[in-house]
Amino acid sequence: MSDPKSLIAEAEKLLKPQSGFFSFISGSSQSMRKEDATDLYIQAANSYRLKKDFNQAGNQFIKASEIQQSLGNYNDSANHLVEAYKCFKSNSPINAIDALSKAIHIFLTQNGQFRRAANFTMDLGELYESVDDIPNAIKSYEQAGDYFQTDNAEALSNKAFLKCADLSALSNDYKKAIELYDQIIKNSLNSSLTKWSLKDYIFKVLLCILCTEDIVEVEKRLAKYNEEDPNWANSREYKLIESILESINKGDVEDFSDKVFEFDKFSKLDKLKTQLLLKIKTSVVDNDEVDIL
């Protein structure tokens, strides 16, 4: 493969404006020269990629994208941006975010490719998570869920909204998390594909409601979910919620701790559930700040 610097120099030469006699003898229009320059930038990008110089590879794909956009070839422009994102992803997440955001915008506004936009918006959420930009990660996952809904992909929509709900709960935005879990539960009740996860969604939403200290609402929901899902009342999650309510009524922190410990022995608590239970323990059951989980 040719030296990428030589390819870039040749591309830049082609992009210089041609006029008059020189344009006549070249035998090619400016648009043809731009197409040729695009091909050279792509060759240079792939050459850099083989050398594992991913930042330079990404930069050349960006140039190819800009040329194609100037020609009105939006699909090609978006595809080159996606290639740039892939190159930047490991070494330069900020550049990857910029490239992918532009590609998503083209998919939505120029091509109406909602499924591709949705898939890449999920990737965008992961990129934001990788740089600890949780507000934008939440926003991206919620947008992805909306795009999947537009494309009638309910299972994928639930997956995106679940990521959004979990991050919202971890960020102490219980109201948003509850709204999203409610939507996921509603979508899952009549779905054979997601119904098996229903008890987990119900468990999370009840923990979030407990974090808001709305005990009455939790009691109402327990009865509601018993009617909607016959398997809920037999689950370990249901029994733990009942035990938590008993501990709250008694103000018994040790009882709460024992019940959570027993549950964790058989159903390992993840980061989110542990954080929610700690919040319930310190703000609802007791104000003691000792870690009992």
pLDDT tens for the chain, 293 residues long, are 579 999 999 999 999 877 654 554 454 588 899 999 999 999 999 999 999 999 999 999 999 999 999 999 999 999 999 999 999 998 999 999 999 999 999 999 988 899 999 999 999 999 999 999 999 999 999 999 999 998 889 889 999 999 999 999 999 999 999 999 999 999 888 777 667 789 999 999 999 999 999 999 999 999 999 998 888 999 999 999 999 999 999 888 999 999 999 999 999 999 999 999 999 998 887 654 434 34
Pair 77, 92: CB distance under 8 Å = no
Question: 72 in the Ramachandran plot: left (φ > 0), alpha (ψ -120 to 50) or beta?
Answer: left
Reported as half-sphere exposure (CB side, CA atoms, 13 A), residue 135 has a value of 0
Task: Give the Cα separation of 131 and 152 in Å (integer).
Answer: 31
Q: Which residue reads 């060759």 in tokens? A: 43
Give the burial class of 59: count Cβ atoms within 10 A of its Cβ; 0-12 exposed, 13-18 middle, 19 or more buried. Answer: buried
C-alpha distances out from residue 169 to 132, 180, 209, 259, Å: 16, 10, 10, 22
Domains of the chain: 1-86 (no CATH), 177-293 (1.25.40.10)
Pair 84, 52: CB distance under 8 Å = no
Q: Cα–Cα–Cα angle for 248, 261, 196, nearest 5°?
A: 90
CB proximity list for 265: less than 8 A, separation 6 or greater:
none
Residue 1 has a pLDDT of: 58
| DSSP 8-state code for residue 1 | -
Residue 28 has a pLDDT of: 57
Residue 289 has a pLDDT of: 44
C-alpha distances out from residue 6 to 12, 28, 137, Å: 10, 21, 40
- Radius of gyration for the chain, computed over Cα atoms and rounded to the nearest angstrom: 27
Residue 293 has a pLDDT of: 46
Q: Which of 73, 130, 76, 81 is nearest to 103 (CA)?
A: 81
Pair 84, 104: CB distance under 8 Å = no
Task: Give the Cα separation of 230 and 232 in Å (integer).
Answer: 6
